[in-house]
Amino acid sequence: MQKNLITLSIAALLFVAGCQSKPKSSDVTMTDSTTSPTTEAGALDTTAITYKLNDPAAYDGEVDGKKVALYVLKDGDATVTISNFGARIVHLIVPDKTGKPTDVSLGFASLADYRKAKESFFGPVVGRYGNRIAKGQFTLDGKPYQLELNNNGNSLHSGPSGFHNHAWDAKKIDNKTVEMTYVSKDGEGGFPGTVTTKVTFTLSNNELKLDYVATTDKATPYNPTSHGFFNLNGEGSGTINNHTLQIQADRYSAVDKGLIPQGEPVSVTNTPFDFRQPTVIGQRVDEQNEQLANGGGYDHNWVLNKKDNSLTEAAVVTGDESGIKMTVLTTEPAIQFYGGNFFAGGDVGKYGRAIGKREGLALECQHYPDSPNHPTYPNTILRPGQTYKQTTIYRFGK
């Protein structure tokens, strides 16, 4: 009898301790690196994430013998952080439809995490040539060049020596603006010419604006772009397949199995690539289609419906749960939509959750892939005496 009473007493104490230690959902910051919590209905429990800035000191360090740090921009309800390691967007926190701060930019919790990540292109400015160049080869003014190869025998975002892997010189202008400058030396990654690139990040009125300016001392292919990864329900909230997407484009670039464009852009009509009206991303992504098979889903270049380099709307994407709408405006002639097909959970994001397949998307404003090998594509050769300029805006609303 005494033994039974002792057993019951221990069980009661354990039950009380468990009840007292169980956290409220509003107090929880998710730290599980392999799974995401679910509600009883099976939906992702995004209330378990408290979106806030990680420790800025975790992003301090040294790359290329230069100091690396995190630069914080604030305006109204929006907060953006930029690391000068690759001039990359780390946090992008905006309010959702209920006013809850939501970090819509995918990234990592420290400089060390960025440097060891399996995926190199979370948030940076990529270049000097964003996207792919077939076999890393091109001929310019009669001279052949060979670039670094890093993607199925092709050069993607200029290979390991690209802009994303270097420390940029940073100058914070005020609480809303920071300038990032990088000098890419002649021969870097196989490219000719010393190119100086300055990108100015400005946060104002729920808009993040990127202004690019560049010059060179030798003719060179040049096609930089910002490679932010977004989930408008918030980092760690699951698939982007239920987001709605609209792209202002009648044509896209059909690609081979190496994702190199094949000839002239083709019509989106009667294909899964028709996003001229707002469409749920996952609605057609698994259809039997050669182009979807080549990309493992969406990883293609859309040719925007524009005839000049004016700043115009390129795409609009809306989070199905958050209600956050991101409008992308650009002076560029095209945009690459990549749906996160190759994420495999090997990288863990800022809030402790593994980043799985199609849990983030990129909308990269650019010139066409492989343009140096296609004379009929819009020109991407920057020459001495010319000044390259580009503006891209990410506008947030509900």
Which contiguous run of DSSP H or E holds residue 4? helix 2-21
From 179, 235, 332, 364, the catalytic residue: 364
Q: What percent of the chain has pLDDT over 70?
A: 88
Question: What SS3 state is found at 389?
Answer: strand
* Mean pLDDT over the full length of the chain: 90
Q: Provide mean pLDDT across the span 187-199.
A: 98
Per-residue model confidence as pLDDT tens digits over 165-186: 999 999 999 999 999 999 999 9
* Residue type for position 175: N
Residue in the block written with tokens 């050769």:
381
91 classed as catalytic:
no
Q: With beta carbons less than 8 A apart as the criterion, state whether 362 and 338 touch.
A: yes
Backbone angles phi, psi at 14, to 5 degrees: -65, -40
The predicted model gives 193-202 an average pLDDT of 98
Model pLDDT for residues 111-126, shown as the tens digit of each residue: 999 999 999 999 999 9
| DSSP string computed for 162-226 | SGGGSBPEEEEEETTEEEEEEEEPTTGGG--S-EEEEEEEEEETTEEEEEEEEEESS-EE-B-EE
Per domain, the residue ranges of the chain are 46-397
| pLDDT tens figures, 365-383 | 999 999 999 999 999 999 9
Q: Which of the following is catalytic: 91, 166, 227, 367?
A: 227
Q: What is the pLDDT of residue 48?
A: 74
Class of domain 46-397: mainly beta
Angle (nearest 5°) at CA 226 between 290 and 157:
60
For residues 236 and 246, give the distance between their C-alpha atoms in angstroms, rounded to a whole number.
23
Distance CA 239, CA 355 (A): 10
d(CA 321, CA 258): 34
Looking at residue 25, its pLDDT comes to 29
- Confirm whether 179 is a catalytic residue: no
Q: In sequence order, what are the residues at sequence separation of 6 or more whose Cβ sits closer than 8 angstroms to the Cβ of residue 240?
A: 230, 231, 232, 233, 281, 339, 340, 358, 359, 360, 361
What mean pLDDT comes out for the span 264-292? 98
Report the predicted TM-score, pTM, of the whole model to 2 decimal places.
0.88
218-244 in b/e burial notation, b at 16+ Cβ within 10 A? Answer: ebbbbbbbbbbbbbbbbbbbbbbbebb
Look at the alpha carbons of 214, 85, 75, 209 in this order and tell me if their dihedral is positive or negative.
positive
pLDDT confidence of residue 87: 98
